[in-house]
Chains A and B, each alone.
Chain A
Amino acid sequence: MSNQNMETEETYYSNYGPQGGLASGPLKLKMTLSGERVVAAEPDVGFLHRGIEKTCEKLQWVALPSLIEKVDYLSSIHGTLALSLAVEKLMKIEISPRAQAIRLIVSELNRIASHIYFLTTMAKACGAQTASQFFLRDREKINNLFEMLTGARLMYNYVCVGGVMSDITEGFIEKTHDTIKYLKPKLKEYDDLLFNNHIFTNRLKKTGILKTSDCISHYITGPNARASGFFYDVRALSPYCGYEKYKEFLERSIKPVTQSDSLDRLQQRVLEIRQSLEILSLEIDRVPAGTYKEKLSKDGKVPKGEAYSVVESSRGLFGVYVCSSGGNVAERIKLRTPSLSLLKVVPDILKGNEVSDVPGVIASLDISVSEIDR
């Protein structure tokens, strides 16, 4: 459409959210519409700003994992893992191989859980209520595993400084095998529900295109970037917790870039579930013997200094910067969250799409508002 037409077009304004939006959490979109087409869309965040970084300076070190979990509640293991890695750098502790293997297992499990929840919101956004219920049912299986291991369904508080909170419970390994066996054929069902369904694929094709150049300039990481052809995976680039073993596997199984649209991002997530299941099925048999947690001094103090460590969360590069003044309480904690870098790109992605596509595109970006706001 030419510029002149754009000027004479009558537009109107509409809010989208913060209640009832499809991002997980209250995201508001200020949209200027022309008929059914989105002329401009501006995200408004801050509805979940809880001041977590300030709260970190109020609580003791021991309490921090349970706080950092709430930053990205859908992949809470990754938040606590990044914090633990940073604090361990400060305290200069080496983690036992067993604890590392357990950490890897839970982090992959959490990735699967998060991606399945993504599929749920995606299906809901496209009006496939039944498909979304199917995904929720499968997420319960992962929740069962976590419940067995940590006792919680969502806020696990499992990874801690020095290892993990508790050892692998009896029967966990067998149950994990069962779950992997259950989920692998289910992935075929997902393909039937999503990618062999023409209504589903046709409405997602060519909507919400995220350009590779945008990914690089805004440093968008995670599945979104990988679907757009910007391969950036902390697990492969600077491995932690024994991801060295799977470096080649991760680099090998890259999805070829086609459109970098919503459908591609959906396919990327399903691919990652498949990857995680592969890693999980290898790692679950390789848990070495040893202690699950290193002995720490009881005063709960962390030596003076600074540390910064990153992990690959379900949404991308999750970094925690820790600064300690040698006391019980952190001096400053800064969280680098993957969804925040998406914020400036969302208007470009949404522009030119239809109102019907907005829920699908927003859901396909898998924005976690709590991560943006903190």
Chain B
Amino acid sequence: MIDLQEISPFSYYISTFMSENLHPVFVLGVSLVIYFIPLFYLSVAITTYMGRKTAADVQMRIGPNRVGPFGIFQYVADTLKLFLKQDSVVNNRKAWLHLAGPVLSIAFTLMAFLSIPVADQWYLANQKWSLLHVYLLMVAAQLFLFFSAYTSGNVFGVLSSSRILVAIAGFSVPFLLSIFNIILVSGGSSFVEVLAIQGGAPWKWMLFSYPTTAISFFVMYCSLLIWQGAPPFDILDSEEEIFGGYSVEYSGSRKWFIEQLKSLQLILSCYLLTGLFLGGGHFPFNLETFGRGAQAIQSLFFSLKVFVLVFISYWIRWSLPRTRLNQVIFFSFKVLIPVSIVGFFLTTVWLALFNGKGIGNLL
């Protein structure tokens, strides 16, 4: 018998609303749908809209304003248009990898969301090593993108594929180092354990609770920018250099999936940062009066943090020019890695000196 509470707390939460006779697998499926539909459509829609409007605002333009009030249905129009467009396919023997690439990459990116709790007990997969698991899934998602770019039969796609590998190399080491720093501090290897030592108030966040975790935050933020290929590290799909890179041969619905993927990557990185550093869904006040609705409020609080981070990311995106490929690697290896190693050692020193207490505990 499957113990829902152990393998998937969110499904257990959902099952409390439903009849007890239902098969756990069915409950799992339902909770997957409930979890992913808002994530895949609503959050991405909001992110896309935010991106376009932020861009317009930074560039002193108006941005889309013809469809619906303030152009809020722009995403709907784009989606519908792309799905009703011809899907031109590359005539290539290995083309199945190319064609399936965006969808597979999206699938792996979505899987990375499974173990991040958006509220107390609201996470789909209960894993012991979920921090590393997320890392592996992120690399896998990029690898599928690599395959799809490599088999696109386009020179710029191939160039982009090599850049994806470089970006994975540039992202992995700093990202893992900052994760190790967190594991060292929190003593746990999953999101649940990391969130357990954080509180709702800002001074109880991981970001401020130890002097070195702020360094980890910076390192992780930059490495996630490299992973997404977001400006200033948008070497993967820059329009001027390699004409869209991995997305150059996609049209129609596959182009839509690529755009979806970009937004999902942004959301995932903001999820990670919120869950690890910004206290996740912990609310500053006691929510016991709300009963079972407390988690909904927590998840809303979580998404608020996520969208603030998304907004900041877009702000950075539209302010900075692009770096070169070798500069990305230099930045990763010569700035991020030394900084995070130094942070790592400082953490051990701090933990040894103060018996593992954070700033908040000491005060």
Contact = CB atoms under 8 A, between A and B. Distances in A.
A358 B159 CA distance: 14
B59 A128 contact: no
A67 interface: no
Interface stretch (B119-127, B216-224, B321-329): B321-329
A15 B243 CA distance: 12
Contact of B324 (A33, A123, A125, A203): A203
A136 to B, nearest CB: 9
A126 B322 contact: yes
Contact of B327 (A127, A128, A202): A202
B311 to A, nearest CB: 16
Centre residue among B59, B235, B322, B325 by max chain A CB count within 10 A: B322
Contacts of B231: 127
B241 interface: yes
A213 interface: no
Contacts of B325: 36, 354, 356
A134 to B, nearest CB: 8
B240 interface: yes
Contacts of B58: 130
B164 to A, nearest CB: 13
B155 A12 contact: yes
Interface size class of B (residues with CB under 8 A): 20 to 34
Interface in B121-167: 155-156, 159, 162
B228 to A, nearest CB: 15
Nearest to B321: A128
A307 B55 CA distance: 52
A66 B20 CA distance: 83
A356 B234 CA distance: 11
Contacts of A197: 320-321
A183 interface: no
A199 interface: yes
A123 B321 contact: yes
B238 interface: yes
Interface string B196-239: 00000000000000000000000000000000000110110010
B93 interface: no
A202 B327 CA distance: 9
A355 B235 CA distance: 11
A356 B238 CA distance: 9
Interface in A210-263: none
Given A203-B323, A355-B241, A357-B324, A129 B159 contact: no
Interface in A336-370: 354-359
Contacts of B243: 20
B60 interface: yes
Tell me the dominant secondary structure on chain B's binding face: loop
A200 B242 CA distance: 19
Given A133-B60, A202-B327, A359 B321 contact: no
A123 B331 CA distance: 22
Contacts of B60: 133-134, 137
Interface in B305-363: 318-327
A128 B320 contact: yes
B85 interface: no
B240 A127 contact: yes
A14 interface: yes
Contacts of B238: 127, 356
Given A130-B59, A133-B59, A355 B322 contact: no
B292 interface: no
Contacts of B324: 203, 354, 356-357
B155 A203 contact: no
Given A354-B326, A355-B241, A199 B321 contact: yes
B59 A129 contact: yes
A200 B321 contact: yes
B66 interface: no
Nearest to A126: B321
Given A20-B243, A129-B59, A355-B159, A199 B326 contact: no
Contacts of B319: 130
Nearest to B238: A127
Given A12-B155, A22-B240, A127 B322 contact: yes
Interface in B98-135: none
A12 B320 CA distance: 32
Contacts of B159: 14, 33, 36, 355
Contacts of B55: 129-130
A203 B241 contact: no
Given A203-B327, A356-B325, A357-B324, A125 B240 contact: yes
Interface in A11-42: 12-15, 20, 22, 33, 35-36
A133 B61 contact: yes
Nearest to A125: B240
Contacts of B234: 127
Interface centre among B235, B238, B242, B324 (most CB of A within 10 A): B324
A199 B323 contact: yes
A139 interface: no
Given A127-B238, A133-B59, A203-B327, A35 B162 contact: yes
Interface of B: 55, 58-61, 155-156, 159, 162, 231-232, 234-235, 238, 240-243, 318-327
30 contacts: A14-B159, A22-B240, A35-B162, A36-B159, A36-B325, A124-B240, A126-B321, A127-B240, A127-B321, A129-B55, A129-B59, A129-B318, A130-B55, A133-B59, A133-B60, A133-B61, A134-B59, A137-B60, A197-B321, A199-B321, A199-B322, A199-B327, A202-B327, A203-B327, A354-B325, A355-B242, A356-B324, A357-B324, A358-B241, A359-B240
Given A12-B155, A127-B240, A197-B320, 4 more contacts: A13-B155, A126-B322, A200-B321, A355-B241
Closest 3 CB pairs of A and B: A127-B322, A128-B321, A133-B59
